[in-house]
Structure formats: C-alpha cells, structure tokens
Chains A and B, each alone.
Chain A
Amino acid sequence: MIWSFQKAFNDIRRRKIRSGLTIVGIFIGVAGIVAIVATARNLEEAQRYNYANSSQDDMRWWVWNNTPTTEYALSQVPNVAAVQRRANYYTRFRWDNTWHDVTFYGLEDYSKVQVNRIDFVEGRPPQSGEVAFEISTKQLLPDLKLGDVITYRVQPQNQEYRFTLSGFVKSPAYPSATLLNYSTAYATANDVRRMLGISGDNEILLRVNDLAGREETRRQVEDIFRKRNLQFSGYVARDPNNFLGKQEIEVVVLLLLVFSGVGLVISGFLVANTLSAIVTEQVGEIGTLKALGAGRWSILQVYLFGALIYGLIGTALGIVGGFVGGKFLLGFLGGTLNFEVDQFLFQPEALGLGVVVGIGVTLASALIPAWAGTAISVREALDSYGITSTYGQGRVDRILTKLQKLPPLVALSLRNLSRRKTRNLITLGVIALSSAAFLAAQSTSTSVDGTIDHLYNVYGADGWMQFDSDVNENLAQHLKAVPGVMNAEAWMRGRVTVKATTTDMYGVPPNTTIYKKQVSEGRWFTTNENNVVTISANLAHLRSIKVGDYLEVEYNRQRETMQVVGILDDNSKFLGSSSVGKVFMPLSVAQRLKKRQGLADFFAIVTTEHDPATVETVLATIENRYRELSPSSLTAYSDRNSTLQITAILRLLLYSMTAIIAVIGAIGVVNTLTLNVLERRREIGVLRTIGGTNQRLVQIFLTEGLFLGLLGFIVGLILGYPLAQVLTNVISQAVFPVDFIFEPQMVIGTFAFALLLTTAASLGPAIGAARVNISSSLRF
C-alpha cells in the first residue's frame, strides 16, 4: 500500500507540467461548482434577510394629495401593520454636465421610516435644499460625493433648482441603480411636494400583518380613499416570493451551474486522459511489476492513488478558490440587487458537493484508463514501445487508408487520429463541448439583443410623455407642432384581466404608424370597430385564444365582451413585469373601458433625429411648453440602455464561463497531443532520419490538432444548437420572451474559435515534437 502511494506520488512529480495542467482542470471545475452553489445559497439567505429586515411594502397606491389624516385612518384598518406616506417625483437631474434619470422620494421624518427602511451610510438626512442619494448611485456616478450640487427640473414652472448632496443611504427595498439605470434620491417631504406642486403626498405604502388577508384590506383601504374623495390608482401588491431581479438572478445562477457542470465533465476527461498517458508511458513498468508477481489490483492501486492525489490537490484548491470566487460573485450579484451581503456565510453543502464531485469525478474518470491499461499481459507490456504498429485492423483505419489522394503528411496526421481512438474521442468531446458552449453563448446573447432590438423597433417611439392626470387626446396634434417632433400619437394604457390573466392593455389609434404591428394571424383593427382586440401570441398561447374568439376584458371591475381579430408577434416584457401578454384595442375602446372618453394618459413621440441629445432636447421643449399639465418624459434610449445593462451582465457571465471551459478544453488538447508526441517518439526519429525538419514535424502535429479542432467543431455544432435553444428557453421562461436567433456568422465564429483553440493548444506539443532528440528516440 505504501509503495503504491509512493510510486503514484513520484509519477506525479516526474510529470510536473502535465500534473499541473490536470490539477488546474480539476481546480477550475470544483471552484466553479463551489462558487456557484455557495453564492446561490448565500443569495437565498440574503434575500430572506432582506425581506425580514428592510420592511418592504406589501401594498402600494398612487393617492393624489393625501394627508396625515388619511395615514391615521389607514392605520386603523385591522390588518394594517404600518403606513407610510411619501411624495414621489420622477425627473432628471444634472451633475457634471450630464442629465440622469432619478426618482425623488420626500419623507417627513427620516428617523421614523416605517415602510421601506433606509439606512444612512454616509452624511446625514437631508434638510430643505438637500438630497441624499441611494448608495448604488455611485455605481453609475463613481465621482459623486457629499457637498456636490445637483440641478433638477421642477414642474409646473419647469424651473431649475439645486440640491446639495447631504448623504448616502442604503435602501435594501430597491434594486441597484445599475439594474434600474436610474437613481433613487431622498429629500424633505416639502421639497418633493413643491416639485409636484401639491401640499400633500402622492403615494401610500402599507405593511400588513397577514398577507392572506390582503384582498380584504385592499377593499377596506380603497373604501377609505373613495369616502375621502381621494383620486387613487396604480395598486401594486408585492409578491413575497418574488422581487425585482430575482428571476434574472436565478437564470444567471442556473446558467452558471450548467456551464460549471460542463466544465467539470471536461475536467473528468482531462483526468482520464492524463491517467491514460501515465499508464501508456509505464507499460514497461507494468510488465515488470506483473513479471515480479504484482496482481492487477495492486497495480491499479498505484494509478488510483495517483488520481486521488490529483483529486485531493485540485479539490482542496478548488474549494478555497470556489469560496473566494463565490464571495466576489455574491458581492457582484448582491450589489446589483442591492442586497445586504456584508458577510459570506460558509456553506457546508457547497463544501460537501465540492469534495464529492472533485474526488468522485477524478476517481471515476481515472478508473477506466487505469483498469484498461493494467489489463495488458506481461509479454505485451515488455514488448511494447508505446504505440501499436498494427494499424489497419479497425474499420476506421481501413476507411482512412482508402483516402489515397492525400499528401503523405496530411494522411499521417489524419490517420494518427484513429490510433488512440478513446483518447482522441475524449479530446474531440472536449473541443466539441467548448465549441458548443461558445456557439450557445453567441446565440443566446444575440437572441437576447435581437429581441431587445425587435422590441424597440416594434415600439417606434423615441420618447414617451405622460401627465399627472389624463389629458385631451387632441394634444397629440399640438405635440406634432413642437420643433423636432416628427410624429405624436395619443395612447392609453392600463392593466386588464382576460381569462383570469392579468395583462397589459394598450389603447392605440387604429391607424397608428408608431406601433409597427406584426400580425402573425388574423388582422389589425380598423377605425370603425368598437369591440375588437388584437392580442399578443404568448397570451393567445397561454389561454388557448384563437382569432374569432370572444373575450371578457375586465378593467377595474368593469367588463366588456370583445372579439379577437388578430394575433400579434409582440411577446416583449419589461424587466420585473409580472403580467403576461398584451391586449391592443382602438384608443376609443380603451377610453370607454376606463371611462375616460376623449382622454389619453400616454403619448408616443417620434423625433426628426433619433440621437439621445436631440431626443432629450425635444422632450425638454415639450415639458417646458406644457408645464401646466405636469408632464414627465421617458426616453426610449435610456429604457433600452437599462435593458441592455442586464444583458451585458448575462453576456459577461456567459462568455466568462465559455472562456473557462475553453481553457480546460485547451488543457485537454495539450495533454492529448503531448501524449501523442511521447508515444510516437520513435516515428518522429524516423521522420528526422528521412529528412523531416522542425517545420515539417510541427506541421504534422499542428495538422493533427487542426483535424481534432475541425471534428470537434462539427460535433460542437450538433450539440451547440440544442444547447442554445435550451438556454434561450430558460431565459424566455424566466426573464422575458426571447426569439431564438441562429445565424451563419455564429457558425463561422465557432469554427474560428475551435481552430484557434486547437491551434493554440497544439503549438506547444508540436514544437515539443520538433525538439525530440533523434538518437534517443531511435533507441526508445
């Protein structure tokens, strides 16, 4: 037993580079698994902690000009645990000569925040003329500091005012500014009310004792609003099991886990390859040991001990690396979600999984080559000089031999691939998996980007205007007269219920040119139709709705029956949206349903030039011209940037994992070709004796690597296509519907990737072949 261990240890020490590469492979696989499992568990903990400690609101309404008396009345409702009034104003602020989106919250007393807790991490609560920013704003504006002055615009005068930065707060109830792409800022209640032009607040938040009784509480609360003649809308109930960004993070974790799994499988291949190499190299020793009376089991022990040493070192390093990497990953993801993740909790299951997977995969991968290698008879072992010279007996050998027109050097490289079939198949698998991962990463990120492009092309507006209250739809005609505006349309939005599904309603002019409708079935509605809708394909699919069906559309307990005349290819969904699908209807029908005849709450604007500066200028002009209507605007480009922010994170993670897999894959190729060189030292010597120069030898082994790359690419294509579909589906289910895109240039990109990978990995062994000492190789 001791001699077995000692021999295994010496074998590993003798092949330092190969052993190092194998350990690196195991390290990466284990570290990936440990980091991701530990991060996922810590995120769950952070989420639980966040929910328990950030006093997030359970219910929320827009309640125009509400006062402390309303707050008191609501606090008397039986299920209500806490009430928070606040003034909320969405605008832009200028800092360092650039405009940024911001939501200002105005609170009366920062020491008595009952719902959506905030903690000051720097500076002090704002006084009149001061503001405190959410700390994550620093991720968008790293140079922002206490004492800085920001300029903001206020309606109805549309004048510019200034705030001095008094502090930074952490508000765990809100996602990071990076995720939202707008900042959250806190000022005094009076300052924000002045922005709004009212004496009271415009938002009410509640926490309840019992979430199950929330519907009854809503009824009671809304009765109070009606009795007090308060204008209210926009009821939002928080899903305790969901939070903004949760689905997206879950997808990211799932994708990382899939990629780590692929990485670990490749690590297993690597171990198998290395063990196969050691066994092959030591065929003579195996023969001698057998001749001296060693049984197969005792010889097998030597190689399994070797694998165990690799596994132990790789796993130990992988666990340490995994926890360190996990801490960084948690910091990154937690920061994005604005979770409090000050400490990274040690996760025993991540440790356990790392050990089981690291050692288990290593031993399992080693068992096959070790078992097969030790099966050799004493005579075969003592006669062998490394590789069989009985080429031509297998079917593949015979097929390859029939390729007579090939130049001998190419034939040599190609036919060598069928000599160590298992090893080359493993290497092929490694390259195929790397190529598949690269292809899937390309297709997934292109699909996501393509969907976002499609979304912003379908909604052809450069900006959107909304007002504090609904305004006359004819305003669209006036907006068209504003310099820089090419087109404007009055729209109406809301949330309706269709077949028990909450969905988004869009009332649009039947002859809209801004909404680039893409009708996949049926037709778009016409000007004279009063009870018709078109619906998005995902809603049609979810509720089995067909063209011609009649639907009951419910808005605020008001129901109307409408006929579906068309299905639209518009499955886009904004981040964090919990609704499914869309219902489009003529503007007049939406106005009737909402009892707002002749009015609109949303205007789509198309500008003559589409660059951000022009769009900003035009929208500012509109805000200025119609300041008495308290307008606020949203630009399509900033909305798009916000969405792209999420996809950038996704892309970064996808390509990082692909890069890691590629590194492990490259190590596999290096290993295989190094073995091929070692085994064929005598052939290399012969090639030298008949005139083979360094360049020719490099060419032979490089060509061999390239053949492996080419075959790996082909198999990678076959695997990568469904993998890309799976990843796109996962994102579609969890984040927003993504149209699967697969383009020829991705195939070309993957081809280049596979060849680059194998060329880079083959170069070392190929140069090594050119350095083989000719006289010793012929003695070998």
Chain B
Amino acid sequence: MATPTIELQQVQKVYSMGRRNYQALRGVDLRIEPGEFVAIVGPSGSGKSTILNMITGIDRPSKGQIMIAEVNLNLLSENQLAHWRGAEVGIVFQFFQLLPTLTALENVILPLHLRGRRAKVHGKERLERALEHLRMVGMDSHAYHLPSELSGGEQQRVAIARALANDPPIIVADEPTGNLDSQTGEMVFEIFRRLSSEGKTIIYVTHDHDLAHLAHRLIQVRDGLIIADSN
C-alpha cells in the first residue's frame, strides 16, 4: 500500500468560548491517498472547515495526530508550518483572498518569493513560472491587473494559480465556488479536475451537492464526526 499522503488519527478540536467550550471535532480518523479527488460536505458548523484547517496546519488539534507524508504537523512550530505549507499545500479560499495591492502576476509570484532559495527558481524563472500558471488558468492576459479590476471568477482562477505557484502535491479548497455563479463555478471546478488528473491530491469543501458528487470520494461530516465516506 502507498504511503498515505494525509492521515488524521483521533483528531479532536475544542474551542474555548468564554465560559463554554465548543467541540468542533470529536475524534476524526481520516486517510487520504496521494492523487485522490475528495469532497467534504456537511451542514454549517459540522466541522468540515476545521478538518481543512487541520490538514493545512492553519489550526492545531486539541487531541490526536496529523501526519502528512510522514511529517507530524503537531511537532512543527508556526514558522516550520509556514515553510511546510509553502512547499506542500496550496490553499484556495471562498473569498479568493488575493492581496489587493498586488497585481495578479505579483500575487502568483509571492509564494515563490516567500519560499526564497528553497523555491529553486529564481529571478526571471519565477516570472516565467508565474505566467505559466496564469496561462494554465486562462488568466495570463490579466497578469498586470489588480484584484479590484477582476471579476470573482477571474480572481478565483488567479487564486488557484497562486496555490499552484510552488507546485505543491496537495491542493485544499474551502468552498471554492461558493461565491461564483454556476457557469464560472464549473470553469473553476474543471481546473481542479485537470489538476487531479495530473496526480495532485485535491480536497475541497462544498455545499453544492452536484459539485460534491463530481469528486472521486465524498466525505460527509456532522457534529464534528465523519458520518459517511464513500468512493
């Protein structure tokens, strides 16, 4: 059996809310193999975004362990996690989260700059690679536009190019089409499908049933637990 890309073992997450505690995850076990195309669904507050935060190291579990390609995320410092994310995970948000003061091209180059020497591409190569990613999502003609000059779909495509900048093996998307019309949403989803066919692990959270069923694997979450996991 191939080494699991992602493994969550009895992961619990408790948020302290004043005098009360809120248990977002109640002991989640999950394995995702390399190259899988996974959709996570569930109602609001079910814990699906918390699972994504655990996988990306954005948040830490209160209990349990997260192993990704044999790296125990629990043991990494915030700085090490930032380095790790820069190399291993590309994240796409519902509201795109492009930096508004940077052009589309600069937004895509930024992760390469943040990786510094570890990026293994320098100077002009960075520019070429960023342009290549923009071309891949059909946004090369808008390379020098600011986010405020782009439509929602265009911004999301730039955000995907940014997530791909360092060529990470895992792409995580939180409601990537949630803020787009259906036609644009499908266009974005098509890009994910293409990336999956190229061998990348794709994990996305969605409310859209149709989009969820396009994944190779569907995980249903409720009240902080995985209640169904089907291929």
Instruction: Give A residues with C-beta under 8 Å from B.
Output: 388-393, 397, 400-401, 404, 407-409, 411-412, 415-416, 419, 682-683, 685-696, 774-775, 778
CA distance A688 to B97 in the complex (A): 12
A690 contacts B91, C-beta separation under 8 Å: yes
- Whether a CB of chain A sits under 8 angstroms from the CB of B115 is yes
Per-residue contact bits, chain B 45-57, to A (CB 8 Å; 1 contact, 0 not): 0000000010010
A392-B149, A694-B78, A696-B114 known; A775+B100 contact, CB < 8 A: no
CA distance A391 to B155 in the complex (A): 14
A-B contact pairs, 30 of them (CB 8 A): A389-B148, A390-B100, A391-B147, A392-B100, A392-B146, A392-B148, A392-B149, A397-B146, A401-B101, A401-B103, A404-B103, A407-B113, A411-B102, A411-B106, A412-B101, A416-B101, A685-B58, A686-B97, A691-B83, A691-B86, A691-B114, A692-B86, A693-B79, A693-B82, A695-B79, A696-B114, A774-B78, A775-B58, A775-B59, A778-B58
CA distance A408 to B109 in the complex (A): 7
* Closest chain B CB from A41 CB (angstroms): 52
Chain A residues, CB < 8 A from B166: 691
A411 contacts B101, C-beta separation under 8 Å: yes
CA distance A5 to B165 in the complex (A): 51
- Whether a CB of chain A sits under 8 angstroms from the CB of B85 is yes
* Closest chain B CB from A597 CB (angstroms): 85
A412-B102, A689-B58, A691-B115 known; A389+B91 contact, CB < 8 A: no
* Closest chain B CB from A242 CB (angstroms): 61
Q: Which of B59, B91, B100 has the most CB of A within 10 A?
A: B100
A775 contacts B78, C-beta separation under 8 Å: no
Closest residue to A696 on the B side, CB-wise? B114
* Closest chain A CB from B114 CB (angstroms): 4
A389-B100, A391-B101, A774-B58 known; A692+B114 contact, CB < 8 A: yes
CA distance A401 to B93 in the complex (A): 24
CA distance A407 to B113 in the complex (A): 8
CA distance A690 to B97 in the complex (A): 11
Chain B residues, CB < 8 A from A682: 97
Interface residues of B in 108-143 (CB under 8 A from A): 109-111, 113-115
Chain A residues, CB < 8 A from B99: 412, 683, 686-687
* Closest chain A CB from B204 CB (angstroms): 15
7 shortest interchain CB distances as A-B pairs: A691-B86, A415-B101, A392-B146, A391-B100, A691-B114, A775-B59, A389-B100
CA distance A696 to B85 in the complex (A): 14
Chain A residues, CB < 8 A from B38: none
* Besides A397-B101, A693-B114, 15 new A-B residue pairs in contact (Cβ under 8 A), listed by A number: A389-B147, A390-B148, A408-B102, A408-B107, A409-B113, A412-B99, A686-B93, A689-B85, A690-B86, A690-B111, A690-B114, A690-B163, A692-B82, A693-B82, A696-B114
Chain B residues, CB < 8 A from A415: 101-102
CA distance A689 to B114 in the complex (A): 11
Chain A residues, CB < 8 A from B106: 408, 411
Per-residue contact bits, chain B 28-57, to A (CB 8 Å; 1 contact, 0 not): 000000000000000000000000010010
Instruction: Give B residues with C-beta under 8 Å from A.
Output: 53, 56, 58-59, 78-79, 82-83, 85-87, 91, 93, 97, 99-103, 106-107, 109-111, 113-115, 144, 146-149, 162-163, 165-166
A391 contacts B91, C-beta separation under 8 Å: no
Chain B residues, CB < 8 A from A390: 100, 148
* Closest chain A CB from B76 CB (angstroms): 12
* Closest chain B CB from A153 CB (angstroms): 75
* Closest chain B CB from A504 CB (angstroms): 66
A393 contacts B148, C-beta separation under 8 Å: yes
* Closest chain B CB from A342 CB (angstroms): 60
* Closest chain B CB from A314 CB (angstroms): 33
Closest residue to B88 on the A side, CB-wise? A691
A409-B113, A682-B97, A694-B78 known; A689+B91 contact, CB < 8 A: yes
Interface majority SS (helix, strand, loop, mixed), chain A? helix
Chain A residues, CB < 8 A from B113: 407-409
A391 contacts B146, C-beta separation under 8 Å: yes
Closest residue to A388 on the B side, CB-wise? B100
Chain B residues, CB < 8 A from A690: 85-86, 91, 110-111, 114, 162-163, 165
Chain A residues, CB < 8 A from B107: 408
* Closest chain B CB from A772 CB (angstroms): 10
CA distance A229 to B58 in the complex (A): 104
Chain B residues, CB < 8 A from A391: 100-101, 146-148
CA distance A72 to B27 in the complex (A): 113
Q: Give the residue of B103, B109, B111 whose beta carbon is less than 8 angstroms from that of A691.
A: B111
A694 contacts B91, C-beta separation under 8 Å: no
CA distance A412 to B93 in the complex (A): 20
Chain B residues, CB < 8 A from A404: 103, 144
Closest residue to A390 on the B side, CB-wise? B148
Chain B residues, CB < 8 A from A411: 101-102, 106
B148 contacts A408, C-beta separation under 8 Å: no
CA distance A411 to B83 in the complex (A): 22
CA distance A599 to B110 in the complex (A): 87
* Closest chain A CB from B119 CB (angstroms): 9
Closest residue to B60 on the A side, CB-wise? A775
A691 contacts B102, C-beta separation under 8 Å: no
Closest residue to B147 on the A side, CB-wise? A389
* Closest chain A CB from B11 CB (angstroms): 14
* Closest chain B CB from A561 CB (angstroms): 77
Closest residue to A680 on the B side, CB-wise? B99
A689-B85, A693-B82 known; A419+B101 contact, CB < 8 A: yes
Chain A residues, CB < 8 A from B111: 690-691
CA distance A415 to B147 in the complex (A): 14
CA distance A690 to B98 in the complex (A): 11
Q: Which of A416, A687, A694, A774 has the most CB of B within 10 A?
A: A774
CA distance A278 to B102 in the complex (A): 27
Chain A residues, CB < 8 A from B103: 401, 404
* Closest chain A CB from B176 CB (angstroms): 14
Q: Which of A404, A408, A690 has the most CB of B within 10 A?
A: A690
B146 contacts A401, C-beta separation under 8 Å: yes
* Closest chain B CB from A612 CB (angstroms): 60
* Closest chain A CB from B131 CB (angstroms): 13
Closest residue to B101 on the A side, CB-wise? A415
Closest residue to B145 on the A side, CB-wise? A392
Closest residue to A686 on the B side, CB-wise? B97
CA distance A774 to B76 in the complex (A): 15
Chain B residues, CB < 8 A from A774: 58-59, 78
CA distance A265 to B168 in the complex (A): 52
* Closest chain B CB from A372 CB (angstroms): 21
* Closest chain A CB from B203 CB (angstroms): 14
Chain B residues, CB < 8 A from A408: 102, 106-107, 109-110, 113
CA distance A389 to B146 in the complex (A): 10
Q: Which of A408, A415, A774 has the most CB of B within 10 A?
A: A408
A389-B148, A404-B144, A775-B59 known; A691+B85 contact, CB < 8 A: yes
CA distance A682 to B97 in the complex (A): 8
Chain B residues, CB < 8 A from A688: 58, 78, 82, 85
* Closest chain B CB from A768 CB (angstroms): 14
